[in-house]
Amino acid sequence: KNLSENICEEAVFERIYNKYSDDVHNFLYYKYGAKYNPKDKTQEAFIKLWDNCKKVPFAKARSFLLTVANNMMLNEIKHQKVVLKHQKTKPQHYTNETPEFVLEQEQYLERYNKVLANLKEEQRVAFLLSKAEGKKHSEIAEMLGVTQKVVEYRIYSAFNILKKELKNFKIK
């Protein structure tokens, strides 16, 4: 065989692929098993060979493929270890907020829900559609079968009641 054959030529590359693809796959499969997709790593190794075809001499193609495939597999194993380590870490079940703040927040939410429950139904519906669901006034008017001005009045009046009953009540 001519040792100076150019791997970048399609016919030569195809010949290398046909000759070494099973060897690379079997090497990976026997060394690491099927868990880390030896078929995929074999294909990726040939892609790397194609990308570096000008740099790799024909005589070193098999060695290049085996080395690249082995390194890819080792990188995959490292990645899986990181994933496993990340999965083992337990999520944070605490906050940096003081217990007083958490208690105040809960009490405020209770008062808010109480005031909301005491609103007239049409005010509460219009207010929640606007602020909780983010609907536009025209959409709410269409849903409720009233004019947009009526919807604006209901939202405005609900907002005023909430402001009066709850100190520091603001909405963005």
172 falls within a domain: no
Tokens, residue 116: 């909301």
Examine residue 130 and state whether it is found in any structural domain, yes or no: yes
pLDDT band, very low/low/confident/very high, at 1 (cuts 50, 70, 90): very low
Residue 73 has pLDDT above 90, yes or no: yes
Average pLDDT over residues 13-38: 92
What pLDDT does 4 receive?
60
In a shared domain, residues 76 and 17: yes
Task: Tell whether 77 and 105 lie within a shared domain.
Answer: no
Domain harbouring 143, CATH code: 1.10.10.10
Task: Indicate if 67 and 131 belong to the same structural domain.
Answer: no
* pLDDT bracket for residue 36 (50, 70, 90): confident
Residue 170 in any domain: the answer is no
**Do 74 and 54 fall within a single domain?**
yes
What is the arithmetic mean of pLDDT over 49-58? Answer: 92
Q: How many residues does the chain have?
A: 172
| 23/27 Cα distance (integer angstroms) | 6
Judgement on whether residues 82 and 20 belong to the same structural domain of the protein: yes
Domain range for 70 is 10-88
Domain boundary among 88, 116, 143: 88
Residue 120 has pLDDT above 70, yes or no: yes
Q: Is 132 helix (H, G, I), strand (E, B) or coil?
A: coil
pLDDT digits (tens, 9 = 90+) for 89-109: 877 666 677 888 888 888 888
Residues 41 and 35: their CA atoms lie apart, in Å, by: 12
The pLDDT, as a whole number, for residue 165 is 84
- Residue 80 located in a structural domain: yes
Q: What is the pTM of this model?
A: 0.50
What six digits make up the tokens of 45?
């190794």
**Same domain, residue pair 121 and 81:** no
35: DSSP letter: T
Judge if 121 and 160 occupy the same domain.
yes
Same domain membership, residue 77 and residue 122: no
- Taking the CA atoms of 74, 19, 50 and 57 in sequence, report the sign of the dihedral they define: positive
* 65 contacts 20 by C-beta, under 8 angstroms: yes
Asked if the structure places residue 3 within a domain, the reply is: no
Tally the domains of the chain.
2
116 and 78 both lie in a single domain: no
